[in-house]
Amino acid sequence: MDIEPIASLPKALGMPFHALDLLEMAFTHASYVHDHKAQHATKQLIDNERLEFLGDAVLGLVISRYLYLIEPPLSEGEMTKWRAAIVCEASLADFARTLGFHRYLKLGRGEEQSGGRLRPSILADTFEAFIGALYLDQGLPGVEDFMMRHIIPRIERGERQRTVDHKSALQEWAQREEGRPVEYAIISEDGPAHARSFVAQVSVAGEVMGQGYGRSKKEAEQRAAEEALQKLGLLSGDFARD
């Protein structure tokens, strides 16, 4: 697919961005740098891995502050659970995909051909790198403004239910129930190498409790766990309390 010019992203997001070189770096995957070193001998190409590291920390802080200020107050355990759910790979990849970040990614040929543009791990890393670049460009206020515009409303519309770590919730329940073992198995997979799909099955104490479909094994397991929680009557309304 044709890559969108990075200069058009601020307009698409409805917010300014001053250091476009940082923004360019945030969307440059290591595979692109590897493939294009010779072509850019006079210009240093830098991938987004360092920005990803910074963005991970900044994102954790911004989400933690948001959860701390929620009324009525959440317990420490609830805040920990929701932060983990909101910043997990599946959630960040979904945020990036919804914002169209995949259209701006610079990938190496191998990653491009293997479907890397929509790979959850790459999208999640890119989202974190963008947050890192935004922090360097505009500080915490800029990151918080972006989150309030584009991410927090989705969470508050009830999408927290979609970002819950169902596997962790099921494991916690099983531990409370005299340590019942939880086991996952991939029972089928289909599609070409660049667009695989999987069906996972979860068993609790040897009893099959749920199945789930996903474009990655992790996604399929999450959906299997979600079905198990539904069968157990452990899923209530959005942002449910323990």
Return the exposure string of 135-169: e unless at least 16 CB atoms fall within 10 Å of the residue's CB, then b. bbbbeeebbbebbeeebbebbeeebbbbbbbbbeb
Which of 111, 128, 165, 226 is catalytic? The answer is: 128
Judge whether 6 and 18 are in contact, CB under 8 Å: no
Query: Was 125 annotated as part of a binding site?
Result: yes
Which of 35, 56, 159, 219 is catalytic? The answer is: 56
If you search the block for the tokens 């009525």, which residue do you land on? 72
Does 145 participate in catalysis according to the annotation?
no
Query: Was 190 annotated as part of a binding site?
Result: no
32's tokens: 């692109």
145's tokens: 């403004």
Query: Was 71 annotated as part of a binding site?
Result: no
Does 56 participate in catalysis according to the annotation?
yes
What gap in Å lies between CA 73 and CA 86, rounded to an integer? 18
15 Rama sector, left if φ>0, alpha if ψ -120 to 50, beta otherwise: beta
Judge whether 160 and 91 are in contact, CB under 8 Å: no
Cα dihedral value 149, 150, 154, 157, nearest 10: 20
Give the active site residues: 56, 128
Instruction: Could you list the residues known to form a binding site for Mg(2+), using ranges.
Output: 52, 125, 128
The annotation places the binding site at: 52, 125, 128
